[in-house]
Amino acid sequence: MLVKLYDKISSGLNLKIIKLRTFSFLCLTALMIIGCTEQSTQKQNQLNDVNEQDRNVQNRNSQAIQIEQELDTLKKNVSNDLSLPDSLITSSSPEDLSLFSGQAEIAIYKLNKARYKGIHPGEAVLIFVTEPFLTDKQVKADQPDDKKSQKVLKLNRIDRFKTGIYDYSQYTSVFTPIDNEKAKYPLKITMGSQDWCGQSFTQINKKKAYAYRHFSYFENEGDTAFRIPHVYTGDNMMNLARISPDLLPQGDFQILPAFNYLRSAQVSAKSYYANASIEETDEGYLYVYNIPELKRTVRYYISSKNQYQITQWEEHYPTVLNNEMHQSVYTLEKVKYIPYWKHNNAEDIHLREELQLDF
């Protein structure tokens, strides 16, 4: 009896143990499945994050490639110089000085030049012509491109005069945009001065400021390079007058004096305070500006005809050596409109005789 009872109890306990073990196994299996599922979800999320990062990198790479392509395009259109002009001037203005289209104005002036202790005889030649000008390289365009060049009014001014036994030759070139809004600041000015003592050369290029360079045989000048803020320039005044007298500055303003004056007077190249006025005359206009610090006054007599032709101008200043006030006077004598670049043969020498060129 006891044996049967023991067997029955043992059998029941074994069944419960089996059930308990089965339940434990099932719970453990369930936990393992849940854990694997969570790990799988985490790994999937990590994979999604990686894929998202890859897509972001690809997008950034695409943007970088696009930016690089745009930069390459820009580099082809502008100068690589870090000191670019404040605006790459590619004027869409239809304005032109028809008087100079296809030919040049050659104007000959009698010159009485104030230099050293007296007045010396000489002549000046003003050559006005329009031409295409590369705004990035800042040189005349051999093959004009509307996207990279614009039309400028170029003035070549040549002053030749004698001082006793020896003579001077001062050659200035000014390149001014034919655009009323941009003519204020020339794109480029160069000046070379030669005499029996030696020679010097000055140049500015319009960038974010004027890039000024000067090379001289004088010890106190030497070779220099620096920047000057954009201001009016004495060398550009005649170009402004020829485009339109309304462009000439009036009242108070800052000016960089004409380079041939700076060379002759041996004064610092910088901006100076100036004041100016303009008045109408029977023939056209009289424009006068004064630089008090230099005791320098310039007068332009501007005709209302022939694209505001300069009929005379005067420069009043103290000369070197004696520092006395003297006046240089330029008086118009001859004018000819001609494509001079087509007349460079020996038989064309008669044209110089017609212009009565002495030098």
- Residues 102 and 70 reside in one and the same domain: no
Mention every residue, 6+ apart, whose C-beta is less than 8 A from residue 156: 125, 126, 127, 129, 171, 172, 173
Interval 110-126: pLDDT, tens: 999 999 989 999 999 99
Could you tell me what percent of the chain has a pLDDT over 70? 72
What pLDDT shows up at residue 135?
84
What is the rounded CA–CA span in Å between residue 290 and residue 243?
Answer: 22
Structural domain span for residue 334: 98-191+230-355
CB 302 within 8 A of CB 310: yes
Count of domains forming the chain: 2
Closest CA to 287 of 267, 307, 311, 319: 311
- Residues 49 and 129 reside in one and the same domain: no
Lowest mean pLDDT among 62-71, 116-125, 245-254, 264-273: 62-71
pLDDT at 18 over 90: no
Q: How confident is the model at residue 285 (pLDDT cuts 50, 70, 90)?
A: very high
- Residues 17 and 104 reside in one and the same domain: no
- Residues 71 and 106 reside in one and the same domain: no
Which secondary structure element, helix H or strand E, spans residue 59, and what is its range? helix 2-77
- For residues 122-148, give the mean pLDDT: 86
- Residues 59 and 125 reside in one and the same domain: no
Q: How confident is the model at residue 68 (pLDDT cuts 50, 70, 90)?
A: low
Which of 9, 42, 77 represents a domain boundary (last residue)?
77
What pLDDT shows up at residue 69?
57
Q: How confident is the model at residue 195 (pLDDT cuts 50, 70, 90)?
A: very high
Residue 305 in any domain: the answer is yes
Residue 90 in any domain: the answer is no
> Which three-class secondary structure state does DSSP give residue 353?
helix
Distances (CA, A) of 279 to 166, 254, 285, 295, 312: 39, 21, 6, 22, 15
- Residues 139 and 285 reside in one and the same domain: yes
Residue 89 in any domain: the answer is no
Interval 196-222: pLDDT, tens: 999 999 999 999 999 999 999 887 778
Q: How confident is the model at residue 346 (pLDDT cuts 50, 70, 90)?
A: very high
- Residues 183 and 316 reside in one and the same domain: yes
Residue 65 in any domain: the answer is yes
Average pLDDT of the chain? 82
Identity of the residue numbered 149: S
What is the rounded CA–CA span in Å between residue 46 and residue 280?
Answer: 83
What pLDDT shows up at residue 78?
37
What is the rounded CA–CA span in Å between residue 190 and residue 239?
Answer: 14
Reported residue count of the chain is: 359
- Residues 252 and 322 reside in one and the same domain: yes
- Residues 29 and 134 reside in one and the same domain: no
